[in-house]
Structure 1
Amino acid sequence: MVREPLQQTELQAERFSGYLEKHYEHLHRPHRHSFYHMVLFTSGEGMHTIDFDRFEVKPFQVYCMIPGQVHSWHFTAPVDGYVVNFPDHFFRDFLYNPYYLERFPFFSGISAEGVFQLPASLQKKVPALFDELIAAALDAAAPPDMNRVLLLRILLLMSNAVAGYPAKAIPEQKKMILHNLRRLIDMHYKSIRLPKEYADLLYITPNHLNALCKDLLGQTAGELIRNRVLLEAKRLLINVNKTVAEIAYELDFQDNSYFNRFFKKYEGVTPDEFRKQFLK
């Protein structure tokens, strides 16, 4: 798997056509970033695969990805728009909140939540702000906080635009428990696999945790944990430099055969078959 080479100490913003020209060789192959990656298309056609979910590229569609997600592009017509990359610490000192970006629904790390259509009311305003951001990023005399303010305006405008998308309102307490559960699973999925252990970390009962997950996500807590392990397994399998045995060890499986049985049970193919199918 390709990991995009990038000196990621500050924000980078540019038109997508120029970005594509510079990185064309590997953008069509599965790769992952160590930074936040956001794209707004203003024209073009094609497909975008994020964590093995496919989306059709359309004008005024926004893609938001967090560090670690795997994606690739397949364009069928000339594309343009805007791309912004920034490190996870970009807002940390500015806002004194290490978890600030987690409040935005499109930075959840769930591919379907990170793709949305920009409403008509913002189709002039947001691109104009992207143009300002590009100009500020190129201006060596501009104060660094100018980039942060402009990007924050874009994120807040987009967040307000997608705020009405959920089918039902979620009480804040339930939303916070779910948010903390996802964060804990991301931190510990390799070593903690039992819902009871996550319930203990959240100071709630396993029954309460399962009821909440079923109500809000239609999944049990166990399925949520398992799906996170499977997602990471698939991300790692794209890296041809790692053997299946090495991936099994990295994901804390007892042995390679157990990992093979686990993967085939839920994906319908063995890890080797998945790797061959996807890379083909």
Structure 2
Amino acid sequence: MTAPIPTFMLYGEPPGEVEPGFVHVESIPTRGRLVDWTIRPHRHTGLRHALLVSGGGGLFRVDEAVRPFRAPAFLAVPVGVVHGFDFEPETQGQVLTMSDGFVSDALAGVREPALRTALEMPLLHDLDPGDRALPDLAHAFAAVEREFLWSGVGRASAIAAHVALILVTVARLGQDGSAAADIAGPDLRLVGRLRQLVEQRFREHWAVEAYADALGVTAGRLNTACRRVAGCSTLQLVHNRLLLEAKRNLIYTAMTMSEVGYHLGFEDPAYFSRFFTKREGMTPLAYRQRHVRGAED
């Protein structure tokens, strides 16, 4: 039998709870040297990658596609997508890993749709050394790494600001859409469109059939694509987005449990509590109390 595709927190690390504000940055050699420069196909739950390759190159594996890349290059992996890398030895660059919640917070108040969808599809941009995008990306990645390694006041806000600048640069790079079209197959494109629609409608509690109708496919076709690309059903993908928003509101706002539920479109606070408890293994109140205690420790 074919072995299942592994799911990791960071590559090689067992999966765990992804906090809404999770962000991590490391150099490509940090992990590459440990695994002989081969990152085998795998996926992450609730996490996405952005890579800036400054030296070397290799192969980028996304779903069934395999594309060569050569520095300088920018690569992106959306949430849940199966991916891997065959790096040439001593390839240089940085890997930025972010949760959905962190990206959403970084773009709070941003109106441009292109920024919100900049990393929703797999990307491979071979950068021109003379292109203005390269120093912009290099500066932003270096700033994220500097803040990540420092514990100064405003650290999270500074990282979020630099991530927003990365997304601006990537959105400008992708204006012609050629990079996404070159890598993404039909299922990846369909799930990418679904994620964009879920972002707009998750508080309205649309049925799976409503999402399928809006995307012009059957519910079965959409569910098959979700399971293959994201490793979950369409309904689970929608519920994961609701759960993420619930966690963010429980951690970062002073809303009551009922207010959080109403804010997310639940007409009955008791139903919201059951929804959250079933998926998180604890009540909304217990989740908030645990994170308040953790912040105080």
Whether the 8 Å CA contact 2:223–2:234 is kept in 1: the answer is no
- Unpaired segments ≥5 residues, structure 2: 11-15, 180-191, 236-297
Match of 1:2 among 1, 6, 31: 6
Using the TM superposition, name which of 5-14 and 67-76 deviates more: 5-14
Residue of 13, 21, 40 corresponding to 2:25: 13
Residue 40 (1) aligns with residue 52 (2):
yes
Tell me what 2:140 maps to.
129
Choose the corresponding residue for 2:158, options 135, 146, 157: 146
Give the secondary-structure state (helix, strand or coil) at the position aligned to 2:102.
coil
Q: Tell me which residue corresponds to 1:115.
A: 124
Structure 2 CA distance, aligned partners of 1:78 and 1:102?
34
Task: Give 1:51's aligned amino acid.
Answer: D
Distance 1:149 1:2 in 2: 32
The answer to whether 1:60 aligns with 2:72 is yes
Bigger shift: 36-45 or 79-88? 36-45
- With over 3 angstroms needed to count, the CA separation of the structure-2 counterparts of 1:101 and 1:36, relative to structure 1, is farther
SS at match of 2:100: coil
- Residue pairs, 1:239-258, within 5 angstroms: none
AA at the equivalent of 1:136: E
Contact 1:12 / 1:85 at 8 angstroms: preserved in 2? yes
Q: Which residue of 2 aligns with 1:273?
A: none
CA distance in structure 2 between the partners assigned to 1:124 and 1:197 by the alignment: 40
Question: What is the deviation of 1:69?
Answer: 0.5
User: Of 219, 227, 231, which residue of structure 2 is paired with 1:232?
Assistant: 227
In 2, the alpha carbon distance for the partners of 1:224 and 1:98 equals 31
3-state SS of the aligned residue for 1:69?
Answer: coil
Q: Which moved more, 1:46-55 or 1:3-12?
A: 3-12
Contact 1:64 1:106 in 2 (8 A): no
- Are residues 59 and 25 of structure 1, via their aligned partners in 2, closer, same or farther at CA, if it must alter by over 3 Å? closer
Following the alignment from structure 1 to structure 2, what is the Cα–Cα distance between the partners of residues 197 and 118? 36
CA RMSD in angstroms, aligned pairs only: 4.0
Mark the CA change 1:227 to 1:151 in structure 2 (over 3 Å): closer, same or farther.
same
Once the two structures are TM-superposed, the CA of residue 136 in structure 1 deviates from its matched residue by 0.7
C-alpha contact (below 8 Å) 1:42/1:80 kept by paired residues: yes
Partner Cα separation in structure 2 for residue 101 and residue 65 of structure 1: 19
Q: Distance in 2 between matches of 1:71 and 1:122?
A: 25
Deviation string for 1:157-196 (max 9, x for gaps)?
22112224469xxxxxxxxxx9568635xx9xxx957xx8
1:29 aligns to what SS in structure 2? strand
Contact kept? 2:80, 2:229, Cα under 8 Å:
no
Q: Is the 8 A contact 2:222 2:234 kept in 1?
A: no
Take 1:108 and 1:151, find their aligned partners in 2: how far apart are those partners? 15
Aligned length: 202
Give the drift of 1:12. Answer: 1.0
Shift of 1:115: 1.9
Shift of 1:235: 7.0
Distance in 1 separating the partners of 2:107 and 2:31: 29
CA distance in structure 2 between the aligned counterparts of 1:160 and 1:198, rounded to whole angstroms: 30
Displacement of 1:104: 4.5
Distance 1:139 1:70, change over 3 A: same
TM-score by length of 1: 0.58
Name the structure 1 match of 2:41: 30
Q: CA deviation at 1:33?
A: 1.2
Shift of the 74–233 alpha-carbon distance from structure 1 to 2, 3 Å rule, reads: same
Query: What code does the residue aligned with 2:85 have?
Result: W
SS at 1:163 equivalent: helix
Instruction: Report the Cα distance in structure 2 between the residues aligned to 1:76 and 1:224, rounded to whole angstroms.
Output: 42
Displacement of 1:89 in angstroms is 0.5
Inter-partner Cα distance in structure 2 for 1:124 and 1:98: 23
Q: Which residue number corresponds to residue 183 of structure 1? A: 197
Structure 1 103/44 Cα, relative in aligned 2: closer, same or farther at 3 Å?
Answer: same
Alpha-carbon shift at residue 38 of structure 1 (Å): 0.9
Q: Could you tell me how far 1:198 is from its partner in structure 2?
A: 3.3
2:193 corresponds to 1:198: no
